Chains A and B, each alone.
Chain A
Amino acid sequence: MSSILPRWMSAVTARHIALAVLLAGLAAAPLVAPTFWVTLLNYIGLYSIVALGLVLLTGVAGQTSFGQAAFVGIGAYVTAYLSTRYAALTWMPWLNLLLGLAVTAAIALCLGFITLRMRGHYLPLATIAWGISFYFLFGNLEFVGGHTGLSGIPSITFAGLELRNERYFYYLIWTITLASLWMTHNLLDSRQGRAVRALKGGIDLAEAFGVNAGRLKIVVFVYAALLACVSGWLYAHLQRFVNPTPFGLNQGIEYLFMAVVGGAGSVWGAVLGATLVTLLKTQLQDWLPRLLGRSGNFEIVVFGILMVVLLQKSRDGVWPWLESLLPPRPPRRIPAAGKLHVPERAPHALLLVVADARKAFGGLVAINDLSFDIRSGEILGLIGPNGAGKSTMFNLISGALPLTRGTIAFCGEAIAGRNAQAIARLGIARTFQHVRLLPTMSVLDNVALGAYLRGHAGVMRAALRLDRDEERQTTAEAAIQVDRVGLSAYLHAPAASLPLGAQRLVEIARALAAAPRLLLLDEPAAGLRYREKQELASLLRGLRAEGMTILLVEHDMEFVMGLTDRLVVMDFGVKLAEGLPAAIQADPLVREAYLGGVQ
């Protein structure tokens, strides 16, 4: 271990300096800037908080909501109503914040539960309806003033200081904005963050490593809604007046625009987007009426056109371009090997037993009463010509497909009918036939996703950065697995930059990071060159020597012959033969299936 100081010094980069300058500028702004700019910065802060939620929801998890403005409205109205009723209680606004968060969470949970199980476009549609309903509901409820709204909302008192002046209020807004940014950033760089990113790669990918995708989507949606609610609470006490207009659907759409313009893939994109849209809007509201000789909501035309052009030209927004001007982020330091939890498991001689498994797709019987087993410590090859049902069998074991009849038992436990997530929990890890890595994430992060079930840190712990010990262990473990497949040189490279052969190895490393008892490999040699196949074979031999059990689904005879301990040959959903590779090679039935009859 080197001393703290040089390490700290060497870690200071141009990025840190840029951040320090930005923070210093933000801290000094209300002391020197004219009121107009302080007001503008206050709004940018408020909008950034909402856009941050959308970064996580839309940019990272691939879901979207047009109803964020209505969640802002909930935060604003709860505190507006209660703090005007109980104006004498100076601590009331703080209690209202909690109440608003509770109401928001309840609504978001309902909407999320209803829509997030279905395809991605139902959430945006439901949130459009929610946004409109909110507007009309609050415009008609007498006790919150209808369309006129509520005025005379007291200001917030903090440590005996009443934040009446917006220059003071500025500090509250930006403290919360930066805290939200920090929390969201932490969350993205964590166990749950990797899982959220994996959602964009498809639910089956996330679930194969034990992520409860449906639950996680709801958590992300609620998180985004809560941020919006906080922004609304601040808004109400800044404006000290609320009416339904700023919480309507148009504003909800503008929030989404902010996230997309700035760059929905990054937390800084949210702040940038909020800044750009707010500045542009004030300018346009100034200029357009003069230009058109008429006043009205004309800036939406420009926004709309800009949005279409932006999506056509660069879907990632402005931030990635701005970030490319900064020096690249230094690669993450790999900590000394930690001790990531390895689940204790009793040894089992017969690891997997498939008995009379049957899978029918309508009238087509893809798997016809197939039986075989996998013994601990062996490499079993499941082979057969194209269309034999190998991949279907693979999906039955990994839980991607339900079984029609028969049983599959893993370590004596029946697993047929369980979902992929539950099967991953039992210690089965898989690879995908068509490589399913998250292309822009580093090899290290991709592999760390595999260790999802070995960690415990939840969203809150990650957001508050209380998960660092576990993260260090996970990083160390992922680095070990990358090294195990011989890709240490590419640790920090984006996964998509690797050749196909190496990407398949990353998939194997990711599966190994789950510390599985059984490794399921779906045609790992497909598309590989001769040399790459040889390297893959020697890697698998090495794993077997360490005691790993492997089920290899392949159709490349040559590849499996020298590698596997036993072979099961399938054709048209039935077992054709089973035995040692040499015996299989000599089997006339197998030859016929592969070569279409030998005279």
Chain B
Amino acid sequence: MDLSIAALLAQDGITNGAIYALLALALVLVFTVTRVIFVAAGEFVAYGTLTLAALQLGKSPGTVGLLVGLALCAGAMECVAAARRRSARLLSRRLALYVAAPLTLAAVVHFAAPLQLPLPVQIVLAVASVTALGPLLYRVAYQPLAEASVLVLLIVSVAVHFVLLGLGLWFFGAEGSRTPAFTHASFRVGGVNISGQSLLVLLFSLLLIGALYLFFERTLYGKALRATALNRVGARLVGISPNLAGTLTFLLAALLGAFSGVLIGPITTVYYDSGFLVSLKGFVGAIIGGLASYPLAAAGSLLVGLLESFSSFWASAYKEVIVFTLIVPVLLWRSLTTQHEDDEHE
């Protein structure tokens, strides 16, 4: 291996690592606020790319159908809940949020699809429609189980992953898609080619991370989420609704996922089942940060990206094995440095 290959691999690793970092942030966020280990986060990535690819072809993406289905489900659940409470208070607001808004979005995407609008508009539509899935999924699948143990929530996540995976195959087919590059520019720095797309991925990742930082530091909602992550009961006592926190968290996670999908689309071919491996690599990064620390999770994800890219050079067939085996020393180190922790018991 000479320096230029190493530089190329490093560039690849950092680009992928940036995507994993976005996922890792989403996973840490979801876990700390809702205790959900959100293994289905990767599906948002695949849906992001594939929705954009469908729009590129002028086809209405399957995401639209899923939005409609989930919105109707959530609406029905809200109506049942209101009937049980025997009060229609808040019902209209929630129906507007869970039913009217997603249905409107679905209609817009559906009718805009054949128009083959310019790329930036399509990106906005794709990201918006995938992002909207997040809160709806939380409402339909997780909110009724908000008090359940981490284990039950994890099983739900795996079930949600199954559902999204199967639907992804149905919506987008088994063939992979690539989306057009944002830019074809490339730069030569010290004898190494750096692609503009890689730089854009890095730039957008940093921008998103910066925006998240501002959101958590400067806005009331961001602070409410931080409070919930620190102490669920305490946050509830000062009037932060756990449902609101959950909904908002899933919105952010879906946004991060969808955006990652749009960023990764021009770099690799994405299949309906590509998301899971991406989110699991984000998980390895997140676990390096103990599922708690954002900076460590981001650093861990970069490490995963680099390890993956270098191992694909030396032993490409075993790159997944190598990446996932990394989790063993990481867990061992965490296991030896942490006290014997007790679970929340039932």
Contact = CB atoms under 8 A, between A and B. Distances in A.
B343 A62 contact: yes
A292 interface: yes
Contact of A128 (B145, B165, B280, B332): B280
A304 B343 contact: no
Contacts of B287: 122, 125
Given A64-B154, A292-B170, A301-B162, A117 B320 contact: no
A203 B346 contact: no
Interface in B62-104: none
A298 B169 contact: yes
Interface in B9-63: 37, 39
B340 A117 contact: yes
Contacts of A130: 324
Given A114-B332, A303-B162, A311 B152 contact: yes
Interface stretch (A7-15, A131-139, A168-176): A131-139
A58 B165 CA distance: 25
Interface string A287-301: 000001010111111
Given A66-B158, A118-B341, A121-B150, A304 B321 contact: no
A349 interface: no
Interface in A114-173: 114-115, 117-122, 124-126, 128-130, 132-133, 136-137, 140
B151 A58 contact: yes
Interface string B154-184: 1110111111011101100010000000000
A133 B341 contact: no
B325 A202 contact: no
B156 to A, nearest CB: 6
Interface string B213-227: 000000000000000
Nearest to B277: A132
B166 A129 contact: no
B163 A305 contact: yes
Contacts of A117: 335, 338, 340-341
Nearest to B320: A136
Contact of A201 (B140, B149, B150, B345): B345
A202 B341 CA distance: 10
A260 interface: yes
Interface string A61-99: 011101000000000000000000000000000000000
A544 B331 CA distance: 49
A465 interface: no
Contacts of B158: 66, 253, 256
Contact of B151 (A64, A118, A133): A64
A121 B169 contact: no
Interface in B307-339: 317-318, 320-321, 324-325, 327-328, 331-332, 334-335, 338
B202 interface: no
Nearest to A64: B151
Main secondary structure of the interface of B (DSSP, over half): helix
B199 to A, nearest CB: 31
Interface residues of A, number: 54
Contact of B161 (A119, A304, A311): A304
Interface in A192-225: 200-205, 214
B320 A308 contact: no
Given A64-B155, A120-B343, A128 B163 contact: no
Contacts of B167: 301
Interface string B254-269: 0000000000000000
B283 interface: yes
Interface in A234-268: 250, 253, 256-257, 260
Q: Is the interface of A mostly helix, strand, loop or mixed?
A: helix
A307 interface: yes
B144 interface: yes
A468 interface: no
Nearest to A135: B320
A532 B331 CA distance: 49
Contact of A202 (B161, B335, B343): B343
A300 B162 contact: yes
A114 B328 contact: yes
Given A114-B331, A133-B321, A203-B342, A296 B174 contact: yes
B141 A308 contact: yes
A495 to B, nearest CB: 14
A591 interface: no
Contacts of A200: 345-346
A312 interface: yes
Contact of A308 (B159, B334, B343): B159
B139 to A, nearest CB: 12
B335 A253 contact: no
B155 A115 contact: no
Contact of B317 (A140, A253, A256, A260): A140
B160 A304 contact: yes
A315 interface: yes
A315 B159 CA distance: 14
A114 B332 CA distance: 5
A121 B166 contact: no
A132 B324 CA distance: 8
Contacts of B340: 117, 203, 214
Contact of B150 (A113, A120, A311): A120
Contacts of B144: 312
A304 B162 contact: yes
B192 interface: no
Most buried by A among B154, B155, B291: B155
B117 interface: no
B155 A260 contact: yes
Interface in B133-150: 140-141, 144-145, 148-150
Given A120-B151, A297-B169, A312-B144, A304 B320 contact: no
Nearest to A111: B328
A120 B154 CA distance: 11
B156 A311 contact: yes
Contact of A62 (B169, B170, B332, B346): B346
Given A118-B335, A120-B149, A133-B320, 14 more contacts: A62-B151, A119-B150, A122-B287, A125-B287, A126-B327, A132-B277, A133-B324, A136-B320, A253-B162, A296-B169, A297-B166, A298-B170, A308-B159, A315-B152
Q: Closest 8 CB pairs between A and B?
A: A301-B166, A304-B163, A304-B162, A202-B345, A307-B159, A129-B324, A140-B317, A304-B159
Interface of B: 37, 39, 140-141, 144-145, 148-152, 154-156, 158-163, 165-167, 169-170, 174, 277, 280, 283-284, 287, 291, 317-318, 320-321, 324-325, 327-328, 331-332, 334-335, 338, 340-343, 345-346
Interface of A: 58, 62-64, 66, 110, 113-115, 117-122, 124-126, 128-130, 132-133, 136-137, 140, 200-205, 214, 250, 253, 256-257, 260, 292, 294, 296-301, 303-305, 307-308, 311-312, 315
15 contacts: A64-B154, A114-B331, A122-B331, A129-B324, A133-B325, A136-B320, A136-B321, A140-B318, A256-B158, A298-B170, A301-B170, A304-B162, A307-B162, A308-B159, A312-B144
